[in-house]
Structure formats: structure tokens, C-alpha cells
Amino acid sequence: NAGVTQTPKFQVLKTGQSMTLQCAQDMNHNSMYWYRQDPGMGLRLIYYSASEGTTDKGEVPNGYNVSRLNKREFSLRLESAAPSQTSVYFCASSTQGNSNQPQHFGDGTRLSIL
């Protein structure tokens, strides 16, 4: 009963390197989300996917791309990492994005960019 699984849990990158953060859910949820969390900022929505085959920008999409590979998987890519992208990244899923159903979160990826 894994829920939402994120990989990796920790990563250190150099400025300019690229990286893909992976997220998979086994709850048959339609909607998936990527957030970043910085100290004192709460969670800010980067991108979300209301259903398989669709993606939309959130509050802070610049510098990121996403891919909804299938219903289970939603990846986040940093093409050219910058120190400002040092953060904790959370993936979440819900039954349906425009419903009243809550989101379930993964354990997070702690990303440091030097």
C-alpha cells in the first residue's frame, strides 16, 4: 500500500545540470500535482495534471517541464538547474482535481543546487 512514491529522496546538482524527478501513485487517481516548498512559503503549485494526457501551469512553472507518462506517473524535469530551484519538492494525487477530494502527498524530494 505505497500511495504516492517519489524518487529520489535526496539529490545534489550543480548549476546547469538537468534532472527528472519521478512520481508514481497506485491509488488509481486521475489528478496529479507537483509542488515546491521553501522556508516560510508554504507549498507552491508548479504544474498539475487534471487527467491523463493533460497538464497545466500552476503558480511557479518557470524553469520546469512535466510529463504525464500514464495514469500512474507524473514526472518533473529541470532542464538547466539554478540555485533558486533548491527546495523540497512534493508530488501529490487526488481522485479528481475539480472535486472536493483531498490530495495525498509523497514523502518529498530534497533537492540542492550548488
Partner 1 sequence: QKEVEQNSGPLSVPEGAIASLNCTYSDRGSQSFFWYRQYSGKSPELIMFIYSNGDKEDGRFTAQLNKASQYVSLLIRDSQPSDSATYLCAVILSGNTGKLIFGQGTTLQVKP
CB of 32 to partner 1, least distance (A): 10
**Contacts (CB under 8 A) with partner 1, residues 38-97:** 40-45, 48, 50, 56, 58-59, 90, 96-97
* Of positions 13, 24, 29, 31, contacts partner 1 by CB under 8 A: 31
CA 111, CA 113: separation in Å to the nearest integer?
A: 7
Provide the grid cell at 74.
507524473
CB of 48 to partner 1, least distance (A): 6
Site string for partner 1, 1-30 (x = CB under 8 A): ------------------------------
Residue ranges that bind partner 1, judged by CB under 8 A: 31, 33, 35, 40-45, 48, 50, 56, 58-59, 90, 96-98, 100, 102-108
